[in-house]
Each structure stands twice: as C-alpha cells, then as structure tokens.
Amino acid sequence: MFSRKWMAAAALGSLLLTGHAMAEDKKVIAVSIPAADHGWTAGVVYHAQTAAKEINAAFPGVEVIVKTSPSAAEQVSAIEDLSASRKIDALVILPYSSEELTEPVKAIKEKGTFITVVDRGLTDPTVQSLYVAGD
C-alpha cells in the first residue's frame, strides 16, 4: 500500500537524484496520478496531496505539484501542459495506461527531467530513471 511516507520519499529521492542546484533555484517535482475513482486511488491521491503540502512547507526550495487525471488522455494533457509552462526537475508518475503515456513521458525526459515511474511500467523501460513496483 502506498503511504504518505512512501510518496514523500519518492518525491524527495527524485529531487536528490536530479543533482545539486544553486540556493535560489526552486526545484519542481510534478506528481501525476490517476484520479480518485475508487478506494485505492483515493488513498494514493490523499497521501500524495498530503505529502506535497508537507514537503512544500518543510522545504522552501522545493515545489511539489500534484495533478490527478480521470483518463490516460487527460493525464497526457496534464503532463504536457505542466512541462510546457515550466521546467520540471522530476516527474513521479503512476501511468493511467503504459501504452499511452510512454511517448509523452519520453518527451519530458528528453528535456532533462528525472522520471520516477510507480506501479505500472512504461512500454519502453529506458524512459524511466527509476521504477518503483507495486504489489
């Protein structure tokens, strides 16, 4: 089961693996997960949002943004919009669908973003910088 501590560890681990930055640089961690359409995903969303609030409060040089999506198409749109409007240092993603998310995530990785894939792998494992399997 995913927990708030796990989500915080994944987000901070992704940030640390992106390298060191100057003090004035704010690091952005985007978390993209399916919407809370049943109990398990509701728990994931709750813990991700709670961890984001805690990390944002504790680390002024870090901004964690959580985006939820009710479909693969909307998840693609959400991550593309985020990466077009700002530099994302790390992306933690639980893909709604491996097939539909692989190419959009690959495009974000090509911009230098550290990619952490959770639970469902992508169809091209070389896209992910880190993979965390669920059970």
Instruction: Please give, one letter per residue, the 3-state secondary structure of the chain.
Output: CCCHHHHHHHHHHHHHHCCCCCCCCCEEEEEEEECCCCHHHHHHHHHHHHHHHHHHHHCCCEEEEEEEECCHHHHHHHHHHHHHHCCCCEEEECCCCHHHHHHHHHHHHCCCCEEEEECCCCCCCCCCCEEECCC
Reply yes or no on whether the pLDDT at 14 is more than 60: no
Q: What is the mean pLDDT of residues 31-48?
A: 90
53: confidence class by pLDDT, cuts 50, 70, 90 = very high
- 79 near 93, Cβ under 8 Å? yes
Q: Where are the domains of the chain?
A: 4-10+27-132
User: Measured between alpha carbons, how far is residue 125 from residues 37, 48, 76, 115 in Å?
Assistant: 27, 24, 18, 11
Query: Mean pLDDT over residues 111-115, rounded?
Result: 97
pLDDT in tens, 67-109: 999 999 999 999 999 999 999 999 999 999 999 999 999 999 9
pLDDT surpasses 70 at 21:
no
Closest CA to 45 of 10, 78, 3: 3
Provide the CA 83 distance to its chain's centre, in angstroms. Answer: 12
Q: What CATH architecture is 4-10+27-132?
A: 3-Layer(aba) Sandwich (3.40)
Q: Kindly state the tokens that stand for 118.
A: 């959770």
